[in-house]
Homo-oligomer: A and B are copies of this chain.
Amino acid sequence: MSRLITLTTDFGLSDPFVGIMKGVIFGIAPKATLIDLTHDIEPQNIQQGALVLSSAAPYFPRKTIHLAVVDPGVGTSRHPIVVETPEAIFVGPDNGLLSPAFSNNATTYQLTQSEYFLESFSNTFHGRDIFAPVAAHIATGVWPSRMGKKLDEPIVLDLPRPEQNKTCLRGQVIYADHFGNLTTNISEDDLKQCLPSKPLVLKVGRRTLKQISRSYADCSKGKAGFLLNSWNAIEIFVRDGNAQQQLKIKPGTQVTLQSS
């Protein structure tokens, strides 16, 4: 059976690194189907990689294998791991990159069985030498539990949470996409719980945006607005424009949401 493997890295696409990982995978699992999530994670930006992976994983079929490498600690004592959940398998370094993608109902194994690695391995490219062959062996049917011993406390990424009080939600921009749209860490659930009664006002920097939009086209061209986006999170946008550039906002900027 063809098994899906997704790839998420900060390797870029201009070098042969990603292609080499795919060559290694097909050498072991010729029937695998490979899908690139992205290879344009900012170098060593674990949080960005974690957000991309966790937002995409739910849209893949059950038992998809998600291989992710954003790995500033390659060659150190940080563990390579595989995580098994009822929905999917995750393979990558134990540095928090995988953690937002799985809930509590997950089992983590430290990758210690070197018969599932390439024969000789480097200290600089575990994507090729460890993670790709491990993902490929899993695709051929090897159980994650055979890859090594259980790891009780994998590193969990400390994603910023919004603060809330009776009148407002204070969060931050956590992701800027290709269009310059700015996703915040304020979710639809946060909103329902804390600010159930509309209308809403969003404050960012010196700017106040009035009234949540239903779609981008609710704003006139070139105007800034905010809406619940496809990740069910509050997003700041500029209609037919680039909010990141035009509003000069980037991940980390504080955002306040309150009733008007």
Binding site for B on A (CB under 8 A): 2, 4, 6, 11-17, 19-20, 22-24, 26-27, 30-31, 33-41, 43-44, 52-53, 55-56, 59-61, 64, 72-76, 122-125, 128-129, 177-179, 214-217, 227, 229-230, 235, 240, 242
Contacting pair A179 B43 (CB below 8 A) = yes
Contacting pair A27 B122 (CB below 8 A) = no
- Determine the distance from Cα of A36 to Cα of B177 in the docked complex, in whole angstroms: 20
Contacting pair A26 B14 (CB below 8 A) = no
One complex includes copies of this chain to the number of: 3
- Given A123-B214, A230-B122, verify A59-B4 contact (CB < 8 Å): no
- Given A11-B178, A229-B122, verify A59-B215 contact (CB < 8 Å): no
* CB-based nearest B residue for A62: B27
- Determine the distance from Cα of A229 to Cα of B126 in the docked complex, in whole angstroms: 12
Dominant secondary structure at the A interface: loop
Q: List 16 A-B contacts (CB under 8 A).
A: A2-B30, A13-B36, A19-B35, A19-B56, A20-B59, A22-B35, A23-B60, A26-B35, A26-B60, A30-B61, A43-B178, A43-B242, A73-B217, A124-B215, A124-B230, A125-B230
Contacting pair A14 B33 (CB below 8 A) = no
- Determine the distance from Cα of A8 to Cα of B242 in the docked complex, in whole angstroms: 21
8 closest A-B pairs by beta carbon, nearest first, are: A75-B215, A12-B178, A125-B230, A14-B40, A19-B37, A123-B215, A23-B60, A16-B56
- Determine the distance from Cα of A107 to Cα of B125 in the docked complex, in whole angstroms: 33
* CB-based nearest B residue for A60: B23
- Given A122-B229, A124-B230, verify A26-B75 contact (CB < 8 Å): no
- Given A15-B178, A38-B13, verify A23-B59 contact (CB < 8 Å): yes
